[in-house]
Amino acid sequence: MSLLSLTPEQREIQRTAREFAERELAPHVAQWDRDAHFEPTIVARLAELGFLGMLLPEAHDGLALETSTYLVALEEIAVVDASTAVLMSVHNSLPTQMLLRYGSDAQRARFLAPMARGELLGAFALSEPEAGSDAASLRCQAERDGDDWILSGTKAWVSHGTHAGVILAMARTDHTDARRGAKGISTFIVTPDLPGFSVGKKEDKMGLRASPTVQLTFDQMRVPGDRLVGEEGKGFTYALASLDHGRLGIAAQAIGIARAAYEAAARYATERKQFGKAIGDFQAIQFKLADMATRITAARTLLHAAAAAKDRGERVTRYASMAKLFATETAMWVTTNAVQVFGGYGYVTDYPVERFFRDAKVTEIYEGTSEIQRIVIGRDVLADPSP
């Protein structure tokens, strides 16, 4: 049951995503999580379903769907496997959207169709070991050398950077501007065949363990001049504008995780008996389930309103941050309370709620922490207080 009124096309995509997730992901997720195993064959399967070009025009082999339809699919995948969901979200929201919006005709022609077909998995490299929330303090350098650029530095927290075929990387091109900050950052299309590119440390994470998160090192990496995206010095604004889109995807992922935990808790409440009756007969448990369902419904409603505004061509920075903030805090709250409903059984690996709890946490951290979302919303409401 959902308050959203879905079109027939959205129902069809939802069904496809659900069937794929239940048939091809569900049997393996617990093992992949235990082994921190990324299953590379998933990329080709997602591509076959069109799920790696959901927002791209048909001319680039995409499905040309509305943002809300993409988010419906993403939620279904996240219900079963949050690691696959983050791959879908990053690929569809960040590198493909950046290229579509800011890339040259030649860059779009070369990269977008192979990305939609799953031949090139897209990644996004903004953060660095010393530049997280303060992304504009990044230090990766790009120096001109004839027609080429030489990139040097280390990018951090790159989702599926191990398997990426194309990485949209932000580097500092203006070295004369001593002002620490956003001006003078440019975006480059990096491919792993470039000399000087290497994949570094793989993080050993609490959750999303089937999604490999790595550092990337650029050691005097020679990048052809035609890999600069858009205008020199505009890369930081491109990254932030793309994150408006990315944050909608992470909100959908968080709603999926929350839904998985809520559905598991609701089922368990009817099965588990204590004091001679099902624990769901106790108001303490009913109230938790009621609050879970209410928060998930509110998060989804906000998210899809933001997506509709995005598809109308409006700037949704404030609403993308609100949706991400509310959905991810909902996911953490719901998964925490789902563990509580399960009691001791929620704390062990016999049931999946402990995984939902671990997976939920990072949604409050990546693509901007909850604190950063509040900064973005706060600045925006000071400029225009209308809610």
CA distance 277 to 124: 51
State the residue for tokens 């620490």.
Answer: 180
For position 224 contacting ligand CAA by CB under 6 A, the verdict is: no
- The answer to whether the beta carbons of residues 255 and 299 sit under 8 Å apart is yes
Interacting residue with ligand CAA among 149, 188, 342, 366 (CB under 6 A): 366
Rounded to the nearest whole angstrom, what is the least distance from the CB of residue 11 to ligand CAA in the complex?
Answer: 28
Interacting residue with ligand CAA among 181, 224, 225, 343 (CB under 6 A): 181
3-state DSSP assignment of residue 329: helix
Rounded to the nearest whole angstrom, what is the least distance from the CB of residue 60 to ligand CAA in the complex?
Answer: 22
Interacting residue with ligand CAA among 120, 243, 279, 377 (CB under 6 A): 243
For position 359 contacting ligand CAA by CB under 6 A, the verdict is: no
Q: Is 9 one of the catalytic residues? A: no
Q: Which stretch binds ligand CAA (CB under 6 A): 54-62, 202-210, 283-291, 363-371?
A: 363-371
Here the tokens at position 224 are 């052809």
Q: Which is nearer to ligand CAA, 15 or 175 (CB)?
A: 175
Q: Which is nearer to ligand CAA, 292 or 322 (CB)?
A: 322
- In whole angstroms, what separates CA 247 from the centre of its chain? 7
In angstroms, the first-to-last Cα distance of the chain is: 29
For position 182 contacting ligand CAA by CB under 6 A, the verdict is: yes
Rounded to the nearest whole angstrom, what is the least distance from the CB of residue 241 to ligand CAA in the complex?
Answer: 4
Q: Which of 169, 236, 173 is nearest to 196 (CA)?
A: 169
Mind spelling out the 3-state secondary structure of 65-112? CCHHHHHHHHHHHHHHCHHHHHHHHHHHHCHHHHHHHHCCHHHHHHHH
Structure letter (DSSP) for residue 225: G
CA distance 366 to 276: 44
Here the tokens at position 301 are 């409603």
Interacting residue with ligand CAA among 100, 136, 189, 339 (CB under 6 A): 136
The continuous run of DSSP H or E covering 122 comes out as strand 122-125
How would you classify the pairing of strands 197-202 and 213-223? antiparallel
Interface mask (CB under 6 A) for ligand CAA, residues 58-97, using x and -? ----------------------------x---x-------
- The answer to whether the beta carbons of residues 228 and 201 sit under 8 Å apart is no
Interacting residue with ligand CAA among 260, 269, 376, 377 (CB under 6 A): 376
Rounded to the nearest whole angstrom, what is the least distance from the CB of residue 55 to ligand CAA in the complex?
Answer: 17
- The answer to whether the beta carbons of residues 336 and 318 sit under 8 Å apart is no
Which of the following is catalytic: 75, 329, 354, 367?
A: 367
Query: What residues make contact with ligand CAA under the rule CB under 6 A?
Result: 86, 90, 124, 126-127, 133, 135-136, 159, 181-182, 236-237, 240-241, 243-244, 317, 366-368, 372, 375-376
Kindly list the catalytic residues.
367
